[in-house]
Amino acid sequence: MSELRTLVIFGAGGDLTRRLLLPGLATCLAAGVPERGITLVGSGTDEREDFAAVVREAFAAELGEEQLALPAVRHTLDSARWITADATDPEHLAALLDQVDGPLGLYFALPPSVTMTSCEALSRVHDSGRLPQDTVLVLEKPFGTDLDSARELNALLAGFVPEERIFRVDHFLGLPGVLGFVGLRFANRILEPLWNRDHIERIEIVFDEVLGLEGRAGFYEATGAARDMIQSHLLQVMALVMMDPPTRFDGVEIPANTAHVLRAARLWSRGAAGDGSVDDGSSGKSADGDARSLAGLPDGTPAVVRGRYTAGTVDGRTMPSYVDEDGVDPARETETFAQVVVEVDSWRWNGVPVVLRTGKAIGLPRQEIAVVFRRPPHDYEQFPSSGPQPPDVLRVGFEDERIDLELNAGGPFDSRGMTRTVLSTELPEPGLTAYGSVLRWVLEDKTAFTVRGDGAEEGWRILAQIAEAYASGQVPLQDYEAGSAGPASAGLAG
């Protein structure tokens, strides 16, 4: 594919563009991608004469004076303009395409239902012969609104755009810790031989945050924690962490391998009533004969937990109860906390619990990937100790890219007995934001960290299992105080 010359953002008047896309593009351009810059076009149904000024303000907030003077940055700032158009109208779309130079990328910073309608209109533009052949589509999460709509959208796109020109965006795959995890695992011989059910007890992927609703009731009431974070982000991170080694790090192997992980994923074995509880072992055993219990978590930990924060104090500020926030309908029972336990039922991972957790208004938030290794097979009772030795744990922070390896040390010949040591390091701060990485991939035609069509569908399939557990009546919506660790039944060891 030829290098893109123009990037059109549909819905460019929204918060996503101002808060994330424009700063991300600024860091991308400052890194020299592309060297000549990009022509930036914002589009929406309203008139926006201030778009160029909004772009300049966003770039100035992210870059220093020296970076703002770079030719690529200057070209983009000078070319930024607004075209008023209805992205769901074929004639409007065709008229917009006539006003821009290709090759071009179309970024859908729109709600999923509007994106679907817009793609239908774009299909009609294609049928009329007015869609340039090298056009790239960049589709923001969530991809569809459920499994059926995701399938429908995939089928629609396949009718007029090749898969290699479709970027299904998940900016979590551009977070420093996630990108660094790939090299940590595959560029070292220490970890990969251990990366299986024989050596790993469980995996925790956690994104708790101190933020509450922050005035986003219009968005959050229609989504909730599981749909917003687990379906859209944490499942994709899980797939990247647990995929088989690719033969090539490209846009064929990595999306295929991550899609295979998601295809094998399901909620941890539930009770016969489908009540979201963890199997107590009476209904089956894992492949190695062990009872199917959650390693390292308290007995009785449910496979699905949901909660909603009440009033409290978080990070020194008072936060009202979620149900008292403007725009919230308490009867919707929107969850602000969701924790699920998933199993990837494959040869490599069968029997390994994977905890996916996200919560708002959490007092001491974790935002990390934690890999908990199995304990040694021999119980060294003669080691001076206050109790069973904890397992080794590898932790990688999502955004700070902190890497911690927690190990046991000392022993019977050490006067201190057994001790716990942590090998810790932080990598250099990345030059790109997560969205900067996403846009770099788009502009350089690198599809390795995009979501394949069937991968997006599998995420919705797993979310449907979570929704089924909610609807069963056996997964109550639990209150937890803002500033606490979340619902008590979550039981995550940390």
pLDDT score at 298: 67
pLDDT at 154: 96
The pLDDT, as a whole number, for residue 385 is 57
Q: Give tens-digit pLDDT for 434-444.
A: 999 999 999 99
CB burial readout 40-68, b (16+ within 10 A) else e: bbbbbeeebeebbebbbebbeebbeeebb
Strands (E), 209-350: 265-267, 304-310, 312-314, 317-319, 337-344
- Report the side by side order of strands in the sheet with 166-168: 81-84, 39-44, 6-10, 104-108, 136-139, 166-168
pTM for this predicted structure: 0.91
Provide the mean pLDDT of the chain. Answer: 88
DSSP 226: I
Q: What is the pLDDT of residue 275?
A: 40
Q: Tell me where in the chain the CATH 3.30.360.10 domain(s) lie.
A: 173-429+452-490
Average pLDDT over residues 445-460: 94
pLDDT (0 to 100) of residue 494: 55
Categorize the per-residue pLDDT at 201 as very low, low, confident or very high, splitting at 50, 70 and 90: very high
Q: Is the pLDDT of residue 382 over 80?
A: no
Which regions of 113-225 does DSSP assign to beta strands (E)?
136-139, 166-168, 200-208
What is the assigned CATH class of domain 173-429+452-490?
alpha beta
C-alpha Rg value of the chain to the nearest Å: 24
| Residue 428 scores a pLDDT above 90 | no
| Helices and strands counted in the chain (H then E) | 15, 18
pLDDT over 60 at 236, yes or no = yes
Which pLDDT tens digit goes with each residue over 337-372?
Answer: 999 999 999 999 999 999 999 999 999 889 999 999
Q: Is the pLDDT of residue 3 over 70?
A: yes
Render pLDDT for 126-170 as a digit per residue (tens, 0 to 9): 999 999 989 999 999 889 999 999 999 999 999 999 999 999 999
Average pLDDT, integer, range 443-465: 94
Tens digits of residue pLDDT in 310-323:
999 998 999 999 99
**The pLDDT value given to residue 380:** 60
Residue 492 has pLDDT above 90, yes or no: no
Partners of 136 in beta bridges: 105
DSSP for 428-480, please give it. PPPSS-HHHHHHHHHHHT--TTSPPHHHHHHHHHHHHHHHHHHHTT-S-EEEE
Give the pLDDT confidence score for residue 429 in this predicted structure: 77
- pLDDT band at residue 458 under the 50/70/90 scheme: very high
Parallel, antiparallel, or unpaired for β 166-168 and 200-208? unpaired
Flag whether pLDDT at 377 surpasses 90.
no
In the three-class reduction of DSSP (H, G, I as helix; E, B as strand; rest coil), residue 101 is classed as: coil
Check pLDDT > 60 for residue 425. yes
Q: Is 25 a residue whose pLDDT tops 90?
A: yes
Place of tokens 């995009």: 450
Among 33-37, 126-130, 282-286, 415-419, the least confident range: 282-286
Percent of the chain whose predicted confidence (pLDDT) is above 90: 75
CATH number for the domain whose boundaries are 6-140? 3.40.50.720
Residues of the chain with CATH 3.40.50.720: 6-140
pLDDT tens column, 267-286: 997 433 334 444 433 333 33
Check if 126 is active-site. no
Among 75, 233, 260, 378, the active-site one is: 233
Q: Answer yes or no: is pLDDT of 430 > 80.
A: no
